[in-house]
Amino acid sequence: MSVSIPGEALIERTASIGGSVTINCKYALEEESSTRYFCRNNRNISCEKVISSPAEKMTNEGRLSLTDDKQKRAYSVTISTLTQEDDGIYWCAMVRGIDDPPTCLSEIHLRILNWDDMEPTTITPDPPGTAKIECKYPEMLTESKKFLCKGDNPFNCQELICTNQESNNVNDGRFTLRVNKRLKHFYVYIKDLNREDSGTYWCVSGDSEYTKFHLSVGIIAGVVVGLVFLAVALILLILCRQKLFKTQACCAAGGPSTQTDAEQSTEGNNGDHGYEEIQLQKQQTNPVQSVYATVNPPPADQLHYASVNFHKDGEASPDKNRCSASGGSAETTLYSTVTKPDDH
Shared domain check, 208 and 131? yes
- Long-range contacts at 180-188 (CB < 8 A, ≥ 24 apart): 181/142, 184/136, 184/137, 184/138, 184/139, 184/142, 185/134, 185/135, 185/136, 185/137, 186/135, 186/137, 186/146, 187/132, 187/133, 187/134, 187/135, 188/132, 188/133, 188/135, 188/148, 188/160, 188/161
Residue 55's pLDDT is: 81
Shared domain check, 134 and 87? no
Angstrom distance (rounded) from CA 14 to CA 157: 20
Shared domain check, 176 and 103? no
Shared domain check, 145 and 98? no
- Is there a contact between 139 and 43 (Cβ–Cβ < 8 Å)? no
Shared domain check, 200 and 180? yes
Angstrom distance (rounded) from CA 91 to CA 27: 13
The domain boundary residue, chosen from 162, 193, 215: 215
Residue 92's pLDDT is: 93
- Is there a contact between 141 and 22 (Cβ–Cβ < 8 Å)? yes
Angstrom distance (rounded) from CA 245 to CA 243: 5
User: Helices in the chain by DSSP H: which ranges?
Assistant: 221-269
Shared domain check, 108 and 126? no
Complete edge-to-edge strand list for the sheet that includes strand 10-16: 10-16, 103-113, 88-95, 35-41, 47-53
Residue 143's pLDDT is: 87
Full domain range(s) for residue 329:
293-344
Angstrom distance (rounded) from CA 233 to CA 104: 73
Shared domain check, 71 and 147? no
For residue 49, being part of any structural domain is answered with yes
Shared domain check, 149 and 77? no
Residue 4's pLDDT is: 53
Which of 109, 159, 118, 140 minimizes the C-alpha distance to 19? Answer: 118
Shared domain check, 53 and 32? yes
For residue 159, being part of any structural domain is answered with yes
pTM score, whole prediction: 0.48
For residue 300, being part of any structural domain is answered with yes
The domain boundary residue, chosen from 114, 129, 146: 114
For residue 202, being part of any structural domain is answered with yes
Domain total for the chain?
3
Shared domain check, 126 and 94? no
For residue 184, being part of any structural domain is answered with yes
Query: Torsions phi, psi of 111, nearest 5?
Result: -115, 130
- Residue 190 sits in a domain whose CATH number is 2.60.40.10
The domain boundary residue, chosen from 114, 147, 170: 114
Q: Sort strands 35-41 and 88-95 into parallel, antiparallel or unpaired.
A: antiparallel
For residue 124, being part of any structural domain is answered with yes
For residue 32, being part of any structural domain is answered with yes
Show pLDDT as tens, one digit a residue, over the chain (344 residues): 555 555 456 888 888 888 889 999 999 988 888 999 999 987 666 788 999 998 878 899 999 999 999 888 999 999 998 999 999 999 999 988 877 888 888 999 999 988 888 889 999 888 778 999 999 998 878 888 999 999 998 888 999 999 987 788 899 999 999 999 999 999 999 999 999 999 999 999 887 788 999 999 976 544 554 566 688 888 988 888 887 777 766 666 655 544 444 444 444 444 444 444 555 455 444 554 554 545 555 555 555 555 555 555 544 444 444 434 444 444 455 555 555 555 54
For residue 281, being part of any structural domain is answered with no
Residue 268's pLDDT is: 47
Angstrom distance (rounded) from CA 97 to CA 262: 127
